[in-house]
């Protein structure tokens, strides 16, 4: 009789541990998904602001929009995305002929940060 109680107690304890572990893993997975979703939304807003700025870089509203979305990215983006963003911005002044390559590296880093593949991503060029 005591063996049956011991086995039942161990079984109940293991079931509780499995339930706790499953809930913790589900919560962790949900947080990761929400984080990637939030980053994706901010990255899309950044691309939109960048496109508007490229279409008219003298427009102060477009410049403010770009600056605002860039600042938001600095809060959420991975270190790789932030370093590629800085390299891209530096390239505009120091290596304008390599602008598209730096922009492509930034896009690849953003895609990697939200879990998307970029194996065959062509060189990205902004169009007005």
pLDDT tens profile 94-122: 887 888 899 999 999 999 999 888 778 88
Whether 93 is in a domain gets the answer: yes
The total number of structural domains that make up the chain = 1
CA distance 9 to 121: 56
What is the average per-residue pLDDT within 56-74?
Answer: 93
Collapsing DSSP to helix, strand or coil, 114 comes out as: coil
Q: Phi, psi (5° rounding) for residue 7?
A: -65, -40
pLDDT for 128 equals 56
Full residue range of the structural domain in which residue 40 is found: 36-113
Whether 28 is in a domain gets the answer: no
* Vertex 48 angle, CA 110 and 106, to 5°: 25
Whether 70 is in a domain gets the answer: yes
Rounded to two decimals, the pTM is: 0.77
Whether 120 is in a domain gets the answer: no
Q: Following CA atoms 72, 109, 119, 93 in sequence, which dihedral angle do they give, to the nearest 10 degrees?
A: 100
What is the average per-residue pLDDT within 6-35?
Answer: 89
What is the average per-residue pLDDT within 6-18?
Answer: 89
pLDDT for 33 equals 87
């Amino acid at each position: 009789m005591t063996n049956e109680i011991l086995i039942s107690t161990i079984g109940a304890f293991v079931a509780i541990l499995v339930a706790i572990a499953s809930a913790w893993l589900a919560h962790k997975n949900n947080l990761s998904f929400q984080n990637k979703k939030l980053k994706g939304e901010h990255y899309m807003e950044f691309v939109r602001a960048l496109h508007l700025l490229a279409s008219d870089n003298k427009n102060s509203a477009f410049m403010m929009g770009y600056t605002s979305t860039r600042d938001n990215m600095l809060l959420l983006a991975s270190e790789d995305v932030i370093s590629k963003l800085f390299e891209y911005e530096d390239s505009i002044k120091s290596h304008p002929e390599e602008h598209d390559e730096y922009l492509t590296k930034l896009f690849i880093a953003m895609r990697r940060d939200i879990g998307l593949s970029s194996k065959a991503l062509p060189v990205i060029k902004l169009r007005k």
